[in-house]
Chain A
């Protein structure tokens, strides 16, 4: 993809250079071309285009570890110099030898995306998504082509190629707004238009409904997929063994099989789902990725590990490296029983929160957090929308939210945006009781 040295050769030469000085190493070379159209007030505010080649290495010697990155065209020079920093380090308590490679290359690309980022022309997106027709709106559309090559001292020699079609739109109708997002490996205008349609519908609905106010207190709440993606993404992050070791996980003492959520909830890491753009056949250590539950019918199924956290916590790698911190790839939240047509009826009397941001933990270890709503927040009375409110917060504990899940929708939405960094296929989530607070008039 780059017009210089092929990335497989960059990876091999870098590995050889590092091994030549006695380092154990993993080398991941990433070439990326992408285009992003950014909208504001119904116009394109900027179009951005990236073309990059980055080489990341993990090196170890005498159980000392380091992770280094270079953007140079012949990165082995830089990286060898960086690796020499290891002589100042000491044995890392996290060290484990690089594992035998079990992963296999896995690729899926959409040629339309590849061509667009190669030529730098994404103007077809404007017509396909009818962006000139949505009125007052802000958001972005991203097209990305990514090629990776991994080699390790343990023998991995693996490649990966993928594309991404991701975006979100926040639509304004007067002082009301609605936002929705989409993500996919392939260019599917219909998926994007369905999401944009949701954003328009929410904005128009709130523009029609009376503005109302609520008091802080405990409510039945319905989380739209954008909110569910954000909060359940925090749960997945807390399931990373690295976050446990770093003292930042409310799941720190969870045991496999322990009930941590309502039995309605299942969350899986699905790296092998090639319809979501973070699919991978191998992790950063070359271990085969695997689809796996994190929470299954409310029971905790285990932490996400790389070989290092696995050694410290006496477990096995789950194929989720991250050289230092294990990470999920694609998240699936299991569907529930609620038909989309019945969902407000199921909420009956409560608050439907369609989007949120600024999720902050007051206490990581106890999962105590608050998050701020934005866009449409719909008050539902007797199963019908009765008004819209602004500026509310969910201020509660994640374990309590998880336990209070009453049901989820059958329909699921592929979400990825600012506040949902991993591609997440999620339904609506109905919570029987959650604490809301309101910040002033």
Chain B
């Protein structure tokens, strides 16, 4: 039978952890990590590739002499994790200790001794690969359409089903075994008209089985996105620019929650540990607590069933829980691992995640969203005299302290006297985190989530996340 982390004998890791301690580690951790992915790539209705990747290996961390070390190995020596690799982590920790002024320590935490798994409602095997391919091809083919000068030039669609299994053992007592299946569909639609070209990419993802990516859901997203491209390339007129009211969709609220709330609340960033890579945080030097209006509450919650960023214990063995990052417009909790929690004198809230066996656990988001309110969407619109409603974005970016940001609209509409009027193109919402969140005067009762892969770390690690929120109304913000 093929080895996996789900049923691996934990005493093998316990022995390695003990050897690492004998070699001088004051803390030792060993993780077996399997990520098995099958992917189908379809281009313009034809299968161009069926891929499979089996990432299977072990990761070790050690603290020695106050330094932190990490080592990883594929299990290419007799197919087993090795004591040597564990000891490499200890040696790496000693290298770190050569240039450390404040010694690394880990704070107390609610460590798990637990086994958990996500049981899919519709297992991957319920539908044969043949049927999956036929279904995906059929759906992609439906949208290679032409309408006047508008033509969908290409649709690339990548279906992925993954199983992630982990077995974690730490020298201070954590023993966590987990199995999480996930599924996603990414697509990119490229279109043109006599006015230009544009593309839209999108991803549907979640933990569980095929129930995450039901055919009707994919069809509905593709249909909506092709329509958005049509509107952008054929019907939309130039967007007004200047200071105005803007209503944003849950898609825009979600990316704002992730980029302007989640990332700056990562404690390692705030402390400068990611300064040369993913960057820093305005929270390092921010004066006061007020960051937005009282309608802005942002939560990161790994425990949402079915979510793409789901987990119950983090990769340090700490029990996961929801974290309130911004509470009624005020800066609140940070995202912590055990190292940053010790520095801040708090308990870790379980945000350490590692992408695979090659990756050290670092502080990551899971499912980050702006909490819904009590308005209806129509109520948000009817109080706007002149402004725009941004439904979908094409592009966004944000500076490295997570302060100045912009969101370029794919689909947007002029709002005049409380009514949604004609479509507009070229609108870019731009502002600082405080400007944008302070301008929120109402949020809707809806809550929708969007999937993504969040990047951070060196070497870069991409982990699955959800981003979400309600419709939000922003008063008097800049549109360029």
Residues of chain A lying within 8 A (CB to CB) of residue B95: 37, 44, 47, 121-123
A39 to B92, CA, bound (A): 13
B91 proximal to A (CB < 8 A): yes
A432 proximal to B (CB < 8 A): no
Residues of chain A lying within 8 A (CB to CB) of residue B105: none
Q: Closest CB-CB distance, B81 to chain A, in whole Å?
A: 12
Q: Kindly report which residue of chain B lies nearest to residue A167, judged by CB atoms.
A: B276
Residues of chain B lying within 8 A (CB to CB) of residue A53: 74, 76
Interface string of A33-51 (1 = CB under 8 A from B): 0011111111111111111
Task: Say whether B156 contacts A246, CB under 8 Å.
Answer: yes
Partner of B406, one of A82, A361, A439: A439
A431 proximal to B (CB < 8 A): no
A44 to B345, CA, bound (A): 22
Task: Say whether B275 contacts A246, CB under 8 Å.
Answer: no
Considering only residues 164-190 of chain A, those with a C-beta below 8 Å from chain B are 168-170, 172, 179
A247 to B201, CA, bound (A): 11
Knowing A47-B93, A73-B77, A363-B198 are in contact, say whether A437-B273 is a contact too (CB < 8 A). no
A78 proximal to B (CB < 8 A): yes
Task: Say whether A51 contacts B272, CB under 8 Å.
Answer: no
Task: Say whether B53 contacts A41, CB under 8 Å.
Answer: no
A65 to B51, CA, bound (A): 9
A20 proximal to B (CB < 8 A): no
Interface stretch among A259-267, A291-299, A364-372, A400-408? Answer: A364-372
Considering only residues 45-63 of chain A, those with a C-beta below 8 Å from chain B are 45-54
Task: Say whether A45 contacts B394, CB under 8 Å.
Answer: no
B188 proximal to A (CB < 8 A): yes
Residues of chain B lying within 8 A (CB to CB) of residue A372: 397-400, 404
Knowing A40-B273, A40-B275, A363-B394 are in contact, say whether A66-B360 is a contact too (CB < 8 A). no
Knowing A138-B272, A360-B395 are in contact, say whether A391-B403 is a contact too (CB < 8 A). yes
B21 proximal to A (CB < 8 A): no
B237 proximal to A (CB < 8 A): no
Task: Say whether A2 contacts B406, CB under 8 Å.
Answer: no
B69 proximal to A (CB < 8 A): yes
Task: Say whether B78 contacts A73, CB under 8 Å.
Answer: yes
Partner of A374, one of B129, B197, B400: B400
Knowing A358-B397, A440-B431 are in contact, say whether A48-B405 is a contact too (CB < 8 A). no
Knowing A53-B76, A71-B55, A440-B478 are in contact, say whether A138-B276 is a contact too (CB < 8 A). yes
B71 proximal to A (CB < 8 A): yes
Residues of chain B lying within 8 A (CB to CB) of residue A154: none
A4 to B43, CA, bound (A): 40
Task: Say whether B99 contacts A43, CB under 8 Å.
Answer: yes
Number of interface residues of A (CB under 8 A): 93
B221 proximal to A (CB < 8 A): no
Task: Say whether B276 contacts A169, CB under 8 Å.
Answer: yes
Q: Closest CB-CB distance, A58 to chain B, in whole Å?
A: 9
Q: Closest CB-CB distance, A194 to chain B, in whole Å?
A: 18
Task: Say whether A47 contacts B404, CB under 8 Å.
Answer: no
Task: Say whether A93 contacts B46, CB under 8 Å.
Answer: yes
Interface string of A214-233 (1 = CB under 8 A from B): 00100000000000000000
Q: Closest CB-CB distance, A174 to chain B, in whole Å?
A: 11
A434 proximal to B (CB < 8 A): no
B100 proximal to A (CB < 8 A): yes
Task: Say whether A38 contacts B188, CB under 8 Å.
Answer: no
Q: Closest CB-CB distance, A421 to chain B, in whole Å?
A: 9
Residues of chain B lying within 8 A (CB to CB) of residue A121: 91, 95
Considering only residues 36-83 of chain B, those with a C-beta below 8 Å from chain A are 38, 41, 43-44, 46-57, 67-79
Known pairs A89-B133, A140-B276 / 14 extra A-B pairs, C-beta < 8 Å: A44-B67, A45-B68, A47-B67, A47-B70, A51-B88, A70-B54, A94-B48, A139-B276, A140-B458, A168-B276, A324-B48, A363-B196, A393-B406, A418-B458
14 contacts across the A-B interface (CB closer than 8 A) = A41-B271, A44-B67, A48-B72, A48-B92, A49-B72, A50-B72, A51-B73, A93-B48, A140-B276, A439-B403, A439-B430, A440-B404, A440-B431, A440-B478
A: residues with CB less than 8 A from B are 2-4, 35-54, 64-74, 78, 82, 85-86, 88-94, 120-123, 126, 131-132, 137-140, 168-170, 172, 179, 216, 245-248, 324, 357-366, 369-374, 390-391, 393, 395, 418, 437-441
| Pairs of residues from A and B, 8 with the lowest C-beta to C-beta distance, nearest first | A439-B404, A247-B190, A365-B197, A138-B275, A88-B129, A362-B395, A247-B154, A138-B276
